[in-house]
Amino acid sequence: MPGLTIGDPLPNLDVDTTHGRINLHDYVANSFTIIFSHPGDFTPVCTTELGAMAAYADKFGQRGVKLLGLSCDDVQSHKEWIKDIEAFNKGKKVTYPIAADPNREIIKQLNMVDPDEKDPGGQIIPSRALHIVGPDKKVKLSFLYPASTGRNMDEVVRVLDSLIKASKHKIATPVNWKEGDAVVISPTVSNDEAQKMFPDGFQTADLPSKKDYMRFTHV
């Protein structure tokens, strides 16, 4: 995937949103931030996704995570669409800003352009891209889904929990990990270091190779 991807610095753009003009780096400040794009206003899958983001806003807030939606239509259109999103989502308020990008410059810079879809006027539109940006303003994780497939917000929460944990400890999270499960100790940590870093200890899997790289602990 060419363009912005994990490890890259977030372009420091000024964007118009439903909460006024926002500078991306100022908005991220010291928080993990989810920037997620949608093919267009007043479309069905996007309405469910933005509604789910509103419903999950408390979960993200508890984790100190900020949200920023993006659809290319203008701010006035977003404000009208938010009424539908809230009504469809049983009145749950959309408390996060939604950016506009009528000139399609932001979606190019954020690597959100859908290679296949166009709007009725033939203009490029975003796919369902989602970047999680860290407090260091670098992209930590990216999803890229086509217009036909809505995202899974439980997965967004799950990967955030993994990213936040891995930013605090020298660990990684294994397949299908969820909060509360054991994590693995990073291969760069020696056993001696691990004993000091993880005071509750760790368990090493007994493998045919007799290599001790599968070390599990809780943090």
Q: Which of residues 116-135 bind ligand BEZ (CB under 6 A)?
A: 117
For residue 53, the minimal CB distance to ligand BEZ (Å) is 14
Stretch that binds ligand BEZ, among 43-51, 98-106, 162-170, 196-204 (CB under 6 A): 43-51
What minimum distance in Å lies between the beta carbon of 19 and ligand BEZ? 22
Our finding on whether 40 is near ligand BEZ (CB under 6 A) is yes
Q: Which span sits near ligand BEZ by CB under 6 A: 22-30, 44-52, 56-64, 74-82?
A: 44-52
- Smallest gap from Cβ 25 to ligand BEZ, in A, equals 29
Which secondary-structure segment (H or E) carries 144?
A: strand 139-145
Residue reference for tokens 């996007």: 46
**CA of residue 5 relative to chain centroid, distance:** 12
Please state, in angstroms and rounded to a whole number, the distance separating the CA atoms of residues 211 and 186: 14
CA 99, CA 41: separation in Å to the nearest integer? 11
For CA atoms 9, 157, 31, 16, the dihedral sign is: positive
Per CB under 6 A, which region of 36-44, 77-85, 166-174, 198-206 contacts ligand BEZ? Answer: 36-44
Q: Which sequence positions are flagged as catalytic?
A: 46
Q: With binding defined as CB under 6 A, does residue 39 bind ligand BEZ?
A: yes
CB 98 within 8 A of CB 49: no
45 makes contact with ligand BEZ (CB under 6 A): yes
Do you know the residue count of the chain? 219
